[in-house]
């Protein structure tokens, strides 16, 4: 018999999500800021800035730490944070950087220990029932192939680094040291010099602001090959790229091994109710309480459709008809590593139908999990068409701050080009900022236009089923499949009534039927333009 789990103890044992996604990621940003602002010794002929291959490999755990923590890979992210803290103390001569990343490594170690203890407590609270999975583990999937390709790619980058560094050594062995004169500074970061033989060459030094026109710069020259003597050519980024590829391959291989390990012996199992909350996501519940979610590669088909057709769904959505009786959600057996982030197998009638990761329950997973969320909007408020609902002052202020953040990330990228994670942050800021200067929805005589972060939907009135209100948000159902979009907080409290009035007016006019159309939001093109600025400036 499958025993019930101790839900309250299982939930209480979990490490809060903000500890990693806010605390450790924010601590990494602070540590990097202090390390970057600590200052570095200038590159001179006596003490040149020699490329460091070991530190180039250490950049992999440096950049992997915030990304892994942000995407829920807690133990791996904490491990990378501790590893880079140790490497920074060993390789970096900056005391400020040593202290900053040393403290962050200590915090990562504490959270890792807390997470291990939490997972053990969650595993115990899940009960004592053990089962063996039927049949044999599935064949090795695409993850193994991807991991092999990544290892091959990493090997090729290491070979390329060896070949390129060998060519540089040959040039340096043949080169002569000469004094060149700075003749031009372009775009504040590109320094052009002229050699005694009138040959010109351009460089991008680490501190371009320290050079002035007329300065003498020692260079190494071997024919057309010219490099600064105090800043030798750095091609260690090949090592960073290859190290990142190999690290990602190891992660994929480890995940595949954990998945296949479920078949190696008896594993913990709990019987739960399964509520689909999307085409490929299932909410697991026990005694009416939300436990976790699992993502699947396909719809498991666990429940029968509630409505006979779209028209019935529309009538129920608008409150014109009582909803059909909903049966209790089906039960599934979930077996495996019973903690957040654990690998589990989902069994239906004794057959494994999916393997997945046990994830936390987010608000977006439960907004539409109720049978009918919110309250139907039935009354209509006349409005002059076309009509747009614009963001309030608060969202516009947020948009301005996000634009400043994106500009700050772009400026920081110019000084620290290796820190490409700032580019991802800047793109996200641009995407979020643009949506705050767009209408939240627009009504015209033929359709309603819904603006989301990535897509813009134009829905003919004949395809709009109705509107339900949940606080300051509206949930608009539309289309032949009853899709639902939830708006952000709307400053106009009568927006729902205006939508319903425009819908009723259009239906009375008997507008010809049209299809729902979707196109990319302008925010996507703004994000691509930002990516272009990052790559070409």
Q: Looking at the structure, tell me whether residues 500 and 409 fall in a common domain.
A: yes
pLDDT, tens digit (0-9, with 9 covering 90-100), for 58-84: 999 999 999 999 988 999 999 999 999
Q: What is the mean pLDDT of residues 358-385?
A: 73
pLDDT, tens digit (0-9, with 9 covering 90-100), for 403-424: 999 998 888 877 776 666 778 8
Please say if the pLDDT value at position 1 is more than 60. no
Enumerate residues 6+ apart whose C-beta is below 8 A from 359: 72, 292, 293, 294, 295, 340, 341
Does any domain span residue 285?
A: yes
Does any domain span residue 71?
A: yes
Picking from 373, 399, 419, the residue at the C-terminal end of a domain is 373
Please say if the pLDDT value at position 513 is more than 70. no
Q: Looking at the structure, tell me whether residues 322 and 447 fall in a common domain.
A: no
Report how far Cα 277 is from the mean position of its chain's Cα atoms. Answer: 21
Q: Looking at the structure, tell me whether residues 476 and 510 fall in a common domain.
A: yes
Q: Looking at the structure, tell me whether residues 516 and 405 fall in a common domain.
A: yes
Does any domain span residue 110?
A: yes
The side-by-side arrangement of strands in the sheet containing 447-451 is 387-389, 441-443, 447-451, 455-460, 517-520
Q: What confidence score (pLDDT) does residue 2 get? A: 45
Q: From CA 457, how far away is CA 438, in angstroms rounded? A: 14
Does any domain span residue 507?
A: yes
Q: What confidence score (pLDDT) does residue 41 get? A: 64
Report how far Cα 404 is from the mean position of its chain's Cα atoms. Answer: 21
pLDDT, tens digit (0-9, with 9 covering 90-100), for 94-138: 889 999 999 999 999 999 999 999 999 999 999 888 999 987 777
Q: Looking at the structure, tell me whether residues 396 and 518 fall in a common domain.
A: yes
Q: What is the mean pLDDT of residues 386-400?
A: 90
Domain that holds residue 18: 7-128
What is the radius of gyration, based on Cα positions, of the chain?
A: 29
Does any domain span residue 204?
A: no
When divided into structural domains, the chain yields a total of: 3
pLDDT, tens digit (0-9, with 9 covering 90-100), for 20-40: 999 999 999 999 988 887 656
Q: Looking at the structure, tell me whether residues 398 and 497 fall in a common domain.
A: yes
Q: Looking at the structure, tell me whether residues 352 and 427 fall in a common domain.
A: no
Best CA proximity match to 273, nearest among 258, 253, 263, 287: 287
Q: What confidence score (pLDDT) does residue 417 get? A: 67
Distances (CA, A) of 129 to 191, 331, 509: 69, 16, 63
Average pLDDT value over all residues in the chain: 87
Q: Looking at the structure, tell me whether residues 353 and 482 fall in a common domain.
A: no
Please say if the pLDDT value at position 90 is more than 80. yes
pLDDT, tens digit (0-9, with 9 covering 90-100), for 314-357: 888 888 888 877 777 888 999 999 999 999 999 988 888 889 99
Does any domain span residue 101?
A: yes
296: pLDDT confidence band, cut at 50, 70 and 90?
confident
The side-by-side arrangement of strands in the sheet containing 225-228 is 200-203, 190-194, 176-186, 216-222, 225-228
Does any domain span residue 185?
A: no
For the packed helices 522-536 and 421-435, what is the interaxial angle rounded to 10 degrees?
Answer: 150
Q: Looking at the structure, tell me whether residues 394 and 307 fall in a common domain.
A: no
Q: From CA 280, how far away is CA 112, in angstroms rounded? A: 30
Question: To the nearest whole percent, how much of the chain has pLDDT over 90?
Answer: 43
Q: Looking at the structure, tell me whether residues 367 and 428 fall in a common domain.
A: no
Q: What confidence score (pLDDT) does residue 532 get? A: 86
Angle at alpha carbon of residue 234, lines to 232 and 236, rounded to 5°: 145
E runs forming strands in 424-512: 441-443, 447-451, 455-460, 464-470, 473-478, 483-486
Distances (CA, A) of 11 to 8, 125, 286, 338, 341: 5, 9, 12, 12, 14
Question: Any bridge partners for residue 457, and if so which?
Answer: 450, 518
Q: What confidence score (pLDDT) does residue 367 get? A: 41
pLDDT, tens digit (0-9, with 9 covering 90-100), for 199-233: 999 998 877 888 889 989 999 999 889 999 888 88
Q: Looking at the structure, tell me whether residues 315 and 443 fall in a common domain.
A: no
Does any domain span residue 29?
A: yes
Q: From CA 172, how far away is CA 216, in angstroms rounded? A: 20
Q: Looking at the structure, tell me whether residues 417 and 510 fall in a common domain.
A: yes
Picking from 345, 373, 401, the residue at the C-terminal end of a domain is 373
Picking from 342, 373, 404, the residue at the C-terminal end of a domain is 373
């Amino acid at each position: 018999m499958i025993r019930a789990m101790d839900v309250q103890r299982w939930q209480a044992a979990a490490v809060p999500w903000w500890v990693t996604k806010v605390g450790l990621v924010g601590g990494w940003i602070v540590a990097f800021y202090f390390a970057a602002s600590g200052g570095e010794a200038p590159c001179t002929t006596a003490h040149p800035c020699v490329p460091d291959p070991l530190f180039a490999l250490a950049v992999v755990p440096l950049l992997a730490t915030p990304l892994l923590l942000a995407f829920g890979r807690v133990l791996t992210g904490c491990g990378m944070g501790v590893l880079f803290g140790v490497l920074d103390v060993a390789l970096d001569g900056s005391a400020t950087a040593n202290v900053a990343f040393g403290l962050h490594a200590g915090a990562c170690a504490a959270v890792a220990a807390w997470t291990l203890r939490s997972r053990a407590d969650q595993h115990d609270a899940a009960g004592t029932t053990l089962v063996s999975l039927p049949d044999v583990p599935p064949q090795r999937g695409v993850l193994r192939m991807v991991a092999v390709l990544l290892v091959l790619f990493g090997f090729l980058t290491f070979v390329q680094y060896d070949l390129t560094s060998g060519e540089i050594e040959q040039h340096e062995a043949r080169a002569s040291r000469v004094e060149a004169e700075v003749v031009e500074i372009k775009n504040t970061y590109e320094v052009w010099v002229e050699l005694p033989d009138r040959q010109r060459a351009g460089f991008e030094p680490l501190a371009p602001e320290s050079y002035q026109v007329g300065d003498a710069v020692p260079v190494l020259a071997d024919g057309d090959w010219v490099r600064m003597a105090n800043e030798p050519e750095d091609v260690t980024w090949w090592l960073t790229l290859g190290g990142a590829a190999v690290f990602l391959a190891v992660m994929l291989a480890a995940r595949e091994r954990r998945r296949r390990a479920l078949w190696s012996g008896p594993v913990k199992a709990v019987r739960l109710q399964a509520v689909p909350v999307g085409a490929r996501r299932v909410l697991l519940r026990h005694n009416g309480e939300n436990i976790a979610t699992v993502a699947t590669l396909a719809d498991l088909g666990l429940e029968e459709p509630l409505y006979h057709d779209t028209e019935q769904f529309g009538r129920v959505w608008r409150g014109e008809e009582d909803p059909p009786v909903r049966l209790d959600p089906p039960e599934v057996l979930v077996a495996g590593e019973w903690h957040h982030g654990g690998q589990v197998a989902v069994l239906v009638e004794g057959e494994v139908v999916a393997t997945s990761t046990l994830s936390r329950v987010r608000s977006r997973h439960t907004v539409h999990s109720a049978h009918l969320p919110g309250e139907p909007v039935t009354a209509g408020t006349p409005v002059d068409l076309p009509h747009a609902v614009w963001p309030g002052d608060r969202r516009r202020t947020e948009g301005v701050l996000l634009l400043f953040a994106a500009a700050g990330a772009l400026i920081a990228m110019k000084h620290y080009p290796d820190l490409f994670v700032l580019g991802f942050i800047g793109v996200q800021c641009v995407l979020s900022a643009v949506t705050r200067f767009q209408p939240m929805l627009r009504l015209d005589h033929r359709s309603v236009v819904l603006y989301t972060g990535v897509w813009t939907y134009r829905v003919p009135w004949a395809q709009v089923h109705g509107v339900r209100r949940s606080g300051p948000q509206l949930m608009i159902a539309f289309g032949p499949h009853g899709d639902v979009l939830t708006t952000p907080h709307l400053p106009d409290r009568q927006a729902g009534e205006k939508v319903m009035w425009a819908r009723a007016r259009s239906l009375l006019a008997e507008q010809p039927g049209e299809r729902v159309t979707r196109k990319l939001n302008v925010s996507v093109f703004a994000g691509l333009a930002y990516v272009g600025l990052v790559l070409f400036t």
